[in-house]
A and B are shown apart, each in its own frame.
Chain A
């Protein structure tokens, strides 16, 4: 399924200043992700998985080494270029959904499209398609407060998928969901991965997510300690 490289991480080191010293969150990471991967960065809390996700998502920059996402070196991007990369090519899924409570489901999903120069008809089609993928058509006029946790996360996925990004970064997407909803969400993402060839990279330590992964990258103390492709 995978072909061209979408993310290339080389000799990545990330250090954070702590008091007078420094804390090394990532220490010499080498990874590549191809188009259509369904991969997870797993590991215990504090292992550096969210930091890696942040850097891949152009939300942070490497201290040393390089991270190239869709041909763009994260280190060399300014704020505007990083925003443009996220706007056009990336979707984010958060642990706590982070839907905007005053907007309807439809409007929440439409939100990322407002920054893209699309016609009203194109926007509407994209939103409706996304809602349909996630089975949310009947909820499109509801507000987030009227939805269950599982439904909220589905809206968040629809929001991340609406612009059909090449890369979706999901940080602990099932942490606030029960088992049934988690499986439902993961099946949905798995289907989207298959149908749209979108690359999914998860940061998780949840076994429910790990079971669905096609590739599991174990990070411990800022280093990759295992990188396994899982074949069913």
Chain B
């Protein structure tokens, strides 16, 4: 009997192919949406980690209290010793120096007078050390639009848009006008090695990346930096691991009574990111739940319609002496089979598209030209473990539920109406 019914299932495309296609489509959309939302929101976390927060961040207590003002006069000192110790304490992690700075960037004309000038938001990172991973971490190589990567401490990269505004090309000179760590005025010439596109509107308007040595020289910050960012070994942020690192570091190095002693904060405790994490969790949960519910209703209908359109077949089966329970169970087994096959292919297709969006991304830069938010303009999906099973919720359970409900309708009908139903 099972073989006979299976044969019918395969032959009747309205019973097999069509519901499988609907389930596949629904499940693939569910998986894709989950990966996309997780990716987009995760991108913003990773972006923040790479550029500003690290997975953990070390500052002085005083700097941490005023970090929105980027108070480089409260920077960490003797950082080379500190980083050496950190590398012993946390051998799997990487610690990098960062200086965030602001000022004016000036391009001189042939007489040395100001030709163009603009406010600059700079970030100093280790660009030229042999073992530095900052270029890859900040994706600088592929963001390069003109020129080359800096090779000397006094070479910088500025955003392509900013370079156009300042009318400066690779090889040209720009003058950074800022203040030293001690409050004095600093005027330092840099050579533009190349231009880059950050993919973030705010950075693309006035961004500059300089080698940390050059900026330390310009701002009298030898063996000092505003922040030390620490990155965990795993590619994605792990809050539990970060919390362990934070606790052990603060126990060992931090002295709340010394405002210049270092203090570590983890990404989730960062003032901006703290709420964002909760927001992401809730947002992903709600969106995915709503979508799963919507897909469940669609797929439930598929099951329902699939069951109801077989009223005639069920009638014949009852007439030849098949028990109602047997018919009901066989319909549910069929729904399970359709649900599994559809969910499998749907998950596969959803993961395929998600992988593509994860690797290639969706560039929404054109839509964000006027945005002042520091968010990535290329959104990518992120395939996480739930993506492998999440689609089975609408794909399997809803179809089966729909079939069960339609089956109850058939189950409860009066057998006596068989002749009449079959003859209409």
Is A171 within 8 A of B415, CB to CB?
no
Is B320 within 8 A of A92, CB to CB?
yes
Chain A: residues with Cβ within 8 Å of the partner, total of: 35
B171 at the interface (CB under 8 A from A): no
Is A79 within 8 A of B312, CB to CB?
no
B418 at the interface (CB under 8 A from A): yes
Residues of chain B within 8 A of A90, CB atoms compared: 321
Is A87 within 8 A of B422, CB to CB?
no
Chain B: residues with Cβ within 8 Å of the partner, total of: 25
Tell me the nearest residue of chain B to A88, going by C-beta. B321
B319 at the interface (CB under 8 A from A): yes
Is B318 within 8 A of A83, CB to CB?
yes
The answer, among B316, B414, B416, for a CB contact under 8 Å with A98, is: B316
B419 at the interface (CB under 8 A from A): yes
A94→B418 CA distance, assembly (Å):
10
B148 at the interface (CB under 8 A from A): no
Contact residues of A between 163 and 199, Cβ < 8 Å to B: 171-172
Interface segment, one of A28-36, A110-118, A130-138, A212-220: A110-118
A98→B418 CA distance, assembly (Å):
11
Q: Contacts A59-B418, A60-B415 given: A83-B11 contact, CB under 8 Å?
A: no
Q: Contacts A94-B423, A98-B316 given: A80-B323 contact, CB under 8 Å?
A: yes
Is B423 within 8 A of A59, CB to CB?
no
Tell me the nearest residue of chain A to B3, going by C-beta. A114
Residues of chain B within 8 A of A96, CB atoms compared: 422-423
Residues of chain A within 8 A of B8, CB atoms compared: 100, 102-103
Is B321 within 8 A of A84, CB to CB?
yes
B12 at the interface (CB under 8 A from A): yes
Residues of chain A within 8 A of B324, CB atoms compared: 79, 83
Tell me the nearest residue of chain B to A93, going by C-beta. B319
A59→B418 CA distance, assembly (Å):
8
Q: Contacts A88-B321, A102-B12, A103-B8 given: A50-B420 contact, CB under 8 Å?
A: yes
Is B4 within 8 A of A107, CB to CB?
yes
Is A87 within 8 A of B320, CB to CB?
yes
Question: Whole-angstrom distance from the CB of B73 to the nearest CB of chain A?
Answer: 82
Question: Whole-angstrom distance from the CB of A20 to the nearest CB of chain B?
Answer: 19
A54→B418 CA distance, assembly (Å):
8
Residues of chain A within 8 A of B312, CB atoms compared: 98
Contact residues of A between 121 and 159, Cβ < 8 Å to B: 159
A90→B320 CA distance, assembly (Å):
8
Question: Whole-angstrom distance from the CB of A31 to the nearest CB of chain B?
Answer: 19
Tell me the nearest residue of chain B to A85, going by C-beta. B321
A114→B8 CA distance, assembly (Å):
14
Question: Whole-angstrom distance from the CB of B51 to the nearest CB of chain A?
Answer: 61
Q: Mark A47-62, 1 if CB is under 8 A from B, else 0.
A: 0001101100101100
A86 at the interface (CB under 8 A from B): yes
Residues of chain A within 8 A of B415, CB atoms compared: 59-60, 82
Residues of chain B within 8 A of A80, CB atoms compared: 323
Is B320 within 8 A of A171, CB to CB?
no
Residues of chain B within 8 A of A24, CB atoms compared: none
- Beyond A50-B419, A54-B416, A102-B12, 17 extra complex contacts between A and B, CB < 8 Å: A53-B419, A54-B418, A57-B319, A59-B418, A79-B324, A83-B318, A83-B323, A83-B324, A85-B321, A87-B320, A87-B322, A92-B320, A98-B312, A100-B8, A103-B11, A159-B320, A171-B423
What are 8 of the A-B contact pairs (CB < 8 Å)?
A50-B419, A80-B323, A83-B318, A83-B321, A107-B4, A111-B4, A112-B320, A159-B320
Which residues in A have some Cβ–Cβ distance to B below 8 Å? 50-51, 53-54, 57, 59-60, 79-80, 82-88, 90, 92, 94-96, 98, 100-103, 107, 110-112, 114-115, 159, 171-172
6 smallest A-B Cβ distances: which pairs? A87-B321, A60-B416, A86-B321, A102-B11, A112-B320, A102-B12
